[in-house]
Structure 1
Amino acid sequence: MSVNSTTPPPRTSTFARPDGPLSRKNVLMAAALVLAGSLGVQVSSALASGLFSTFGTLGTSSLRFLVAALILLAIFRPKLRGRSRSNWLGIAIYGASMAAMNMCLYAAIERLPLGVAVTLEFLGPITVALLASRRITEALCAVGALAGVVLIAGPGGHFDLIGYAFGLGAALFFGLYTVFSARVGKTNDSMSGLALSVAFAAVLSLPFGIPVLHLVDLNSAGILLVSATIGVVLTFTADTLAARVSSSRVVGTLFSIDPVVGAVAGAVILGQSLTLTAVLGIVAVVGSGAALVWASGSNPPHVPER
């Protein structure tokens, strides 16, 4: 989660602009970007998992945000002056949602089966997609994607009140992430906004990273660098660009790609078997995504305002 940002006319001229009509090309481009981000999440998670025993899950997440923030700030060198209050608010909420959804998801996974936690988290972006849907076709695509995720994850009857609370918290922040990836993505300096958002996430998560910072050695530093580049820089950049060329309602549905990529990667790389229900879930998600692309074909092209 699988899973990023955007001359003057005022910086906020496109910040709160409502989603416009989309072309099939835009939705296909968004799907490709979300897929790239999802692949980055899976690869980086595999790399980062080897660090959990040393830094803990939250410590590893914090250090990855710190490394990613330094990379993005060095590349885009964002200006701090000249930004409106609403622009800073969007950047702050985007960054806070990044940090919070990771922490809540990790806390949920410690108490719930992975499938349950993943399904709960996905309620966030799918709710955004449903609320923002303008046609019944889009709403049905979102529902179909949710059904597919439930089948892939295979949630069982395990119940843990605190675990569910963290899972729903992850859903809330994933929903905010979905909304503000579009808002930051549609600003004129989206990449600078992304860099500042990731820096904000890094600062918020520092209390988990500082206590383990002294444990970083040359080997773990290399793993953190690669994991942060692939799993944070690449993924969040892809997500922000996907939201820039499409909308929150589209990426909210497309984020269902994450559990599909995870299931397929587990089968191909780790030799894990896919159940019939998981295969049906993959078909449902892919079919919902294809239907979303098809439904967008009759719409005129969408060009972000300048």
Structure 2
Amino acid sequence: MPSSTTSRLVPFLLVLGSILSLSVGSSLAKDLLFPLIGPTGTTALRTGFSAIVLLALWRPWKASITAREYKFIALYGVTLGAMNLCFYLALESIPFGLAVAIEFVGPLTVTVLYSRKLSDFIWIALAVTGVLLLLPLRGNDSGLPLTGVLFALGAALCWALYIIFGKTISHLHSGQTVAVGLVFASMVTLPVGMANAGAILTHPHLLAMGLLIALLSSSLPMTMEMAALKRLPHKTFGILVSMEPAVAALVAFFMLSETLTLIQAIAVTFSITAGMGSAITARSRIDTLAT
């Protein structure tokens, strides 16, 4: 019996570990690297090292990938790079938990496009309401800069495109696809990072920090998610991943001393509820790998 209980707990712990790793990595990036090389330089190091680690782990050059498949992997990777850039630029000015909550509008929108069930429109409406609570509109005391919210919405759009492009290559090995995709993502993030941070990116201390953040924010979470997906129903996986905004807000509270106002906390709750509701009522799997 104990071993049976343990085997059932393992996939849940893998998802929790993935979310925690991503949250800790992003919090470290914001705290330690943003002041030195900014969000664009940090993104460049994250995607660059993630690509190197996953290439070494999955060795995609051994796979038989056609030219047409490479085209879609390139689109997948470019949107992944843009998503990471937008997300880190959002983190520069808004709390981590709120950036994640806003970003979740992306996969929820894809769910509506693919499903067209009435319940899915309800979930996206709930998520959009949460975003509207965060927009610094007239009479809305969100306390957030519009630029940060717009970058988070940009990350949401990129996440939606990332899912759509990812579905076209879902028949390929997921680890190899992500590894090659990160190479294309780095082609987006490295030039932008170098333009803003310059040669300082090659400083040994920054390279070591970049490697650590890449492991925590990308390589380790993606590996744990892939392992969890093999053991969990996709609906259960989606419900668990929907807790990411809450975990991100909690980690940011302890690591970055970021607190949320009542309105902001309500907006995060809307995002979590929409994500869980969408996962519960979903008819089919839609891949929603984390940033």
Same-fold call, TM > 0.5? yes
Q: CA shift at 1:75, angstroms? A: 0.8
CA distance in 2, matches of 1:103, 1:128: 21
Match of 2:7 in 1: none
CA offsets 1:151-200 (integer angstroms, 9 cap, x no match): 5xx3323898877765554333121122234444x324221111100111
Stretch of structure 1 that moved more, 216-225 or 235-244: 235-244
Q: Is 1:70 paired with 2:55?
A: no
Q: Is 1:40 paired with 2:8?
A: no
CA distance in 1, matches of 2:145, 2:206: 34
2:90·2:99 contact (CA, 8 Å) conserved in 1?
A: yes
Q: CA shift at 1:128, angstroms? A: 1.3
CA distance in 1, matches of 2:234, 2:82: 22
2:45·2:207 contact (CA, 8 Å) conserved in 1?
A: no
Match of 2:33 in 1: 51
Residues 91, 246 of structure 1: alpha-carbon distance in 2 compared, 3 angstrom cutoff:
farther
Instruction: Tell me the amino acid that sits aligned with residue 77 of structure 1.
Output: R
CA distance in 2, matches of 1:58, 1:69: 16
Residues 79, 270 of structure 1: alpha-carbon distance in 2 compared, 3 angstrom cutoff:
closer
Per the alignment, in what secondary structure is the counterpart of residue 83 of structure 1? coil
Per the alignment, in what secondary structure is the counterpart of residue 51 of structure 1? helix
Q: Is 1:192 paired with 2:176?
A: yes
Aligned length: 267
1:149·1:259 contact (CA, 8 Å) conserved in 2?
A: no
Q: CA shift at 1:294, angstroms? A: 4.2
- Cα-Cα RMSD: 4.1
Match of 1:101 in 2: 83
Q: Is 1:171 paired with 2:156?
A: yes
Residues 91, 134 of structure 1: alpha-carbon distance in 2 compared, 3 angstrom cutoff:
same
CA distance in 1, matches of 2:182, 2:105: 23
Per the alignment, in what secondary structure is the counterpart of residue 171 of structure 1? helix
One of 264, 282, 306 as aligned partner of 2:250: 264
Q: CA shift at 1:255, angstroms? A: 6.5
CA offsets 1:82-137 (integer angstroms, 9 cap, x no match): 32233112211111011112223444566x65588666644433321221224222
Give ranges in structure 2 of 5+ residues lacking alignment: 1-9, 138-142
Match of 2:117 in 1: 135
After TM superposition, the score normalised by the length of structure 2 is 0.70
Q: CA shift at 1:57, angstroms? A: 1.7
Stretch of structure 1 that moved more, 258-267 or 64-73: 258-267
**Percent of pairs identical after alignment?**
31
CA distance in 2, matches of 1:215, 1:97: 23
1:126·1:146 contact (CA, 8 Å) conserved in 2?
A: no
Bigger share in helix: 2
Instruction: Tell me the amino acid that sits aligned with residue 131 of structure 1.
Output: L
Per the alignment, in what secondary structure is the counterpart of residue 60 of structure 2? coil
Match of 1:9 in 2: none
Stretch of structure 1 that moved more, 204-213 or 87-96: 204-213
CA offsets 1:9-31 (integer angstroms, 9 cap, x no match): xxxxxxxxxxxxxxxxxxxx999
Residues 103, 42 of structure 1: alpha-carbon distance in 2 compared, 3 angstrom cutoff:
same
Match of 1:22 in 2: none
Q: Map of 1:191-270 to 2, 5 A cutoff? A: 191-210=175-194, 212-213=198-199, 215-237=201-223, 257-270=243-256
After TM superposition, the score normalised by the length of structure 1 is 0.67
Instruction: Tell me the amino acid that sits aligned with residue 173 of structure 1.
Output: C
Q: Map of 1:267-306 to 2, 5 A cutoff? A: 267-295=253-281
2:136·2:146 contact (CA, 8 Å) conserved in 1?
A: no
CA distance in 2, matches of 1:65, 1:78: 17
